[in-house]
Amino acid sequence: MQKSKYSRFMSFTREEWAEFRSNTPLNITQSEIEFLCGINEDISLEEIIAIYLPLIRYLSVSMEAAEKSDKVNDVFFQLEVKKVPFIIGVAGSVAVGKSTTARILKSLLLKLTTQPEVALITTDGFLYPNDVLEAKGIMNKKGFPESYDRKALIDFMKHVKSGEKNIQAPIYSHEQYDILPNQYIDLGEPEIVIIEGINVLQTSKLVGERTPNIFVSDFFDLSIYVDADERDISKWYVDRFKILKNTAFTKQNSYFNKYATLSDQETEVIAKDIWNRINKKNLKQNIRPTKKRADIILKKGLDHRVSSVKIRKR
């Protein structure tokens, strides 16, 4: 462990972090992992053992501590004990693998001995519909903070953190590249809710807005930032775009069907252009500046393996 009394984080190498697994059982198979992975990721059982099992143990301890803290307040103020969900935020760049991280966490948390109900929600569902983005003139800024209906997202988080039942979240289709009208995910009654999105740790105000007094991250009990070098994320984005060109983009109802007939060389040029004009700018301006607001930072290498873990000091 890197020791520095001036750092806000404790830093661990991959090998050091792996030692914190303790007796956390391995209860997931390689075939299950492959189902959870993104299209150009390769996560091994060894990665689960070295990185995710210690992380699940850390989350379990955090959830126990949060429950005890809630009970103290309930007893002191003579309140009715009300179980509310433990909320985990997962942030990071487009193509960094945060969705895979969120899905693996959900799968492992579901397998805890307490068998909690776990819900996974992506903030993509709170993007403005394409017609609204076009009317606002920000279709080329999809994924930037201003492209989200932040009031709707904050209201949703309030309902979740209040422990309300029958909460619904809007659905986003990556194939259609738009919100699906009148379609929703029913959260049920989860004990754990994972909120995954590129800007969930963002706090800055938008141009012309007053500074908000509440943010999405205010509702998190714990947050994770999935990090990697920009050149690696760029490569993953381009590689993924090439794969999608030959798979998802070939569907007639795909928003990106126009790219399906491009040559490999043309595809790479288009993918790099989209990355540089939109995703790279969003990463530098809005996403990466939020990294140090996270409780946990997972740093990945080019092979998608986590090379180091940082934990915020309590």
Angle (CA) 179-180-183 rounded to 5° is: 125
Q: Is the pTM of this model over 0.85?
A: yes
| pLDDT band at residue 4 under the 50/70/90 scheme | low
pLDDT digits (tens, 9 = 90+) for 9-39: 999 999 999 999 999 999 999 999 999 999 8
**What does the DSSP 8-state code read for residue 49?**
I
The CA–CA distances, whole Å, from 190 to 35, 82, 158, 163, 287 equal: 23, 13, 15, 9, 28
Confidence at residue 5, expressed as pLDDT on a 0 to 100 scale: 61
Confidence at residue 80, expressed as pLDDT on a 0 to 100 scale: 78
| Nearest-angstrom CA–CA distance, 148 and 128 | 6
Look at the alpha carbons of 274, 278, 284, 287 in this order and tell me if their dihedral is positive or negative.
negative
Confidence at residue 89, expressed as pLDDT on a 0 to 100 scale: 98
Look at the alpha carbons of 49, 50, 52, 57 in this order and tell me if their dihedral is positive or negative.
positive
Q: Is the pLDDT of residue 137 over 90?
A: yes
- Strand-pair partners of 309: 12, 298
Instruction: Specify the CATH superfamily of domain 9-312.
Output: P-loop containing nucleotide triphosphate hydrolases (3.40.50.300)
pLDDT digits (tens, 9 = 90+) for 69-79: 888 878 888 88
**Contact yes or no for 312/7 (Cβ under 8 A):** no
Q: Percent of the chain scored above 90 by pLDDT? A: 85
DSSP E strands, 131-219: 168-173, 178-186, 192-196
Confidence at residue 120, expressed as pLDDT on a 0 to 100 scale: 98
Show Cβ contacts of residue 150 under 8 Å, excluding neighbours closer than 6 positions.
126, 212, 216
For range 156-179, the mean pLDDT: 95
Confidence at residue 70, expressed as pLDDT on a 0 to 100 scale: 81
Q: Is the pLDDT of residue 286 over 90?
A: yes
Q: Is the pLDDT of residue 7 over 90?
A: no
Sequence spans of domains, the chain: 9-312
Confidence at residue 76, expressed as pLDDT on a 0 to 100 scale: 87
pLDDT digits (tens, 9 = 90+) for 202-248: 986 665 666 667 899 999 999 999 999 999 999 999 999 999 999 99
DSSP E strands, 6-68: 9-13
